[in-house]
Structure 1
Amino acid sequence: MSYQTGPAPLPQPARPLDYWLSAELAAVSPSGARSRLREIASARGSYMGAWAAGIGMGAVLILLGPLLAIRLGTFAPVPAFSLPGAAIAVLCCIFYAKVRDRLPRTDRSPVNRGPGSLRGALGFVGFILTAFIGVFAFTAKPSTWQDPALLLTLVAVLAFVVCLLVAAIIVPATILGRSRESLRSKAVNDPRFRALLEQDLATWRDPYGDAGYGPL
């Protein structure tokens, strides 16, 4: 006689997930201390920030098409810029939704070379814009400031640069800077995502030392 048995139950962790997700525990822990939850939050934030930047860049291209069409008096820029921009935005939206709802691979997360918080991003963008405007102000001819058409073009170029900086720097830096709070909120409000964390908590062991699962 044979007996069918179900899958073996997962081992019970020493501490529940709510303990590691606690904001109080995070507040009394060193901000630079390594933990599994922080690695997950950082990798998840990096992926979400990268795809959000792609969405923003796609939106910039969508707007650029009609603006160039009006400025140049031809419809050609719309399919040349807006259609690829829409495709990029839709594709990035799909991947953004996927990485938001699953646990990331922490050993293959994107390397972030830019600012990691909104404050750092604003300072960086402010520096770039100041340098950009300063170089132009010192190199432009006096007649440039008396030509309304040229000034309008310069304002449009500056607005385009600002949109690019917002999409490529401010948006991903903001998402990355809030990665821990975002993970905590997702775990509290999404039962499916919480179940993924519970399973990971039960099976994960630090391969490099004795780091804990949390704090977050």
Structure 2
Amino acid sequence: MNDQLGRSPFSPPERPLEYWLSSELARVSPENARSRLREIAGARGTYMGAWAAGIGTGAELILLGVFLGLLLGALAPALALGLLGAALVVLCSVFYVRVRDRLPNTSRAIIHRGPGSLRQALSFLGFIVITFIVVFAFTAKPTTWEDPSRLLTLAVVLAFVIGLIVAAIVVPATIMGRARESLRRKTQRDARFRSLLEQDLATWHDPAGNASYGPL
């Protein structure tokens, strides 16, 4: 039985993988053109970004635990938040490596409502920081500016908020924004991953239309 393109599922693909991975082909192709490679890159980048956010959040919890332990002079908060953060880092690292080295399931609907690039993420971060500072400036009592301990607390809170936004938004957005180039580099450097893509190329056909395998 032949697929929708008139090609037997057991026949070799009309074009090699290297053709579809070409950066020159990607440059001359419309940015929003649909292809199998772009679907793989997008899904892979989204999954990697999500697990990277978990890693960063875990690291933030560890730092927060250390700070609270030093501030309160107690070991309990450092241990509680540190263990939780370390567990989150380890778990998310395992899944990050897993999705990085495998072809993603592109049949699942992946919903992402945050920034999709580093530029968008930095704009969002700047907006949050400016809003935080403006709100504090208009609501803080005059004596607050004369109290070093309160200013230190403000600086720590702001640093934690910035770190959390970087971990949960900026890092994933950067990974997703560079998902196509990341897939190209992975294919060039990892022979096992390349073989997975070549197997996919040999058997894949578009179930909903006539989209091509590339460009990337």
When normalised by structure 2's length, the TM-score is 0.94
2:126 is equivalent to residue 107 of structure 1: no
Deviation at 1:36, TM superposition (A): 0.2
Q: C-alpha separation between the residues in 2 aligned to 1:136 and 1:63?
A: 24
**Percent sequence identity over aligned pairs:** 68
The one-letter amino acid paired with 1:61 is: L
Residues 16-47 of structure 1: CA distance to partner in whole angstroms, max 9, x if unpaired? 00000000000000000000000000000000
Could you tell me which residue of structure 2 aligns to residue 83 of structure 1?
83
Partners of 1:47 and 1:109 within 8 A in 2: no
Partners of 1:46 and 1:109 within 8 A in 2: no
- Structure 1 residue runs of 4 or more that deviate by more than 4 Å after TM superposition: none
Q: C-alpha separation between the residues in 1 aligned to 2:186 and 2:14?
A: 23
Could you tell me which residue of structure 2 aligns to residue 189 of structure 1?
189
Could you tell me which residue of structure 1 aligns to residue 128 of structure 2?
128
Q: C-alpha separation between the residues in 2 aligned to 1:10 and 1:63?
A: 54
2:107 is paired with a residue of what secondary structure?
helix
Deviation at 1:107, TM superposition (A): 1.8
The one-letter amino acid paired with 1:184 is: R
Segments of 5+ residues of structure 2 without an aligned counterpart are 1-8
Deviation at 1:109, TM superposition (A): 5.3
Q: C-alpha separation between the residues in 1 aligned to 2:14 and 2:60?
A: 49
Could you tell me which residue of structure 1 aligns to residue 71 of structure 2?
71
Residues 107-139 of structure 1: CA distance to partner in whole angstroms, max 9, x if unpaired? 225321111110110001111111111111111
Residues 143-194 of structure 1: CA distance to partner in whole angstroms, max 9, x if unpaired? 1100111111111101100110100010000000000000000111100000
Could you tell me which residue of structure 2 aligns to residue 147 of structure 1?
147
Q: C-alpha separation between the residues in 2 aligned to 1:159 and 1:201?
A: 46
Q: C-alpha separation between the residues in 1 aligned to 2:102 and 2:57?
A: 24
2:213 is equivalent to residue 213 of structure 1: yes
CA 1:174/1:49 → structure 2, altered by over 3 Å: closer, same or farther? same
2:201 is paired with a residue of what secondary structure?
helix
Which structure 2 residues correspond to residues 146-165 of structure 1 after superposition, within 5 A? 146-165=146-165
Deviation at 1:11, TM superposition (A): 2.2
Q: C-alpha separation between the residues in 1 aligned to 2:134 and 2:211?
A: 48
2:207 is paired with a residue of what secondary structure?
coil
Equivalent pairs, count = 208
The one-letter amino acid paired with 1:200 is: D
Could you tell me which residue of structure 1 aligns to residue 171 of structure 2?
171
Could you tell me which residue of structure 2 aligns to residue 58 of structure 1?
58
The one-letter amino acid paired with 1:192 is: R
The one-letter amino acid paired with 1:152 is: L
**Aligned residues: CA RMSD:** 1.0
Partners of 1:43 and 1:109 within 8 A in 2: no
The one-letter amino acid paired with 1:212 is: S
Q: C-alpha separation between the residues in 1 aligned to 2:139 and 2:159?
A: 20
Partners of 1:117 and 1:173 within 8 A in 2: yes
